[in-house]
A and B are shown apart, each in its own frame.
Chain A
Amino acid sequence: DTGVSQDPRHKITKRGQNVTFRCDPISEHNRLYWYRQTLGQGPEFLTYFQNEAQLEKSRLLSDRFSAERPKGSFSTLEIQRTEQGDSAMYLCASSLWQEANTIYFGEGSWLTVV
């Protein structure tokens, strides 16, 4: 499968712990996006990268959240000191910058904070 790959698919963690999600985009895609989705809602934009540069961050991305894409390929999203309100599905997506409307989403990483 050469689509967007996310790992882990499910994570249960205790409040206060740190978690990290990984995203591997489609190989030739230079843009990578992170979204968050809660039950009954549409995805909400968090941040995006073009190559290794983080070009835009949402106000939803508090200082406990950090995203990186060090070599312009895979990306990680880390949440520090998790809170119950962080429970959500974290979606990664990728695209070519010149076809930025054709965004391919991964299957998501479910986070449950207990």
Chain B
Amino acid sequence: GQQLNQSPQSMFIQEGEDVSMNCTSSSIFNTWLWYKQDPGEGPVLLIALYKAGELTSNGRLTAQFGTTRKDSFLNISASIPSDVGIYFCAGRPFGNTGKLIFGQGTTLQVKP
């Protein structure tokens, strides 16, 4: 089945540093999404990408939909302590489906 490989698995950075994480797939996706999950909570949508090559920002977050439709990356600039959490990429396959396929997550820790 379709799988997403998300990297890195975890990151420990200093406050103020920029962060980059990415997601690759063995097959193409219609849409890419990035979520953040805090402990004990459900995922919260950060950015949605709809077109190959699309670059979208949300505050200090920037994400891109890869031109091959098989990858996406998320950048966080000038990290702050509240950026701590688990970041998930998710892809929606083509076709009439409500399903999202999630990556394994990138755990981000920020040292003040």
Contacts and interface: CB of A to CB of B under 8 A. Distances in A.
A42 B42 contact: no
Contacts of B45: 102-104
Interface in A71-103: 91, 93, 100-103
Nearest to A100: B98
A48 B104 contact: no
A100 B40 CA distance: 24
Interface string B37-64: 0001111110010100000000000000
Interface residues of A, number: 25
A68 interface: no
A43 B6 CA distance: 13
Contacts of A50: 98
B66 interface: no
A107 B98 contact: no
Interface in A1-55: 4, 31, 33, 40-45, 48, 50, 55
Which bucket holds chain B's interface residue count?
Answer: 20 to 34
B88 interface: yes
Interface in B52-93: 88, 90, 92
Given A42-B105, A102-B48, A107 B33 contact: no
Nearest to A47: B98
Nearest to A99: B48
A42 B102 contact: yes
A2 B26 CA distance: 37
B100 interface: yes
Interface string B88-112: 1010100001111111110000000
B25 interface: no
Given A41-B105, A42-B88, A101-B92, A107 B41 contact: yes
Given A31-B98, A93-B42, 7 more contacts: A33-B98, A42-B90, A43-B88, A43-B102, A101-B50, A102-B48, A103-B45
Interface of B: 4, 6, 31, 33, 35, 40-45, 48, 50, 88, 90, 92, 97-105
Minimum-distance CB pairs A-B, first 5:
A42-B102, A105-B42, A48-B98, A45-B99, A101-B48
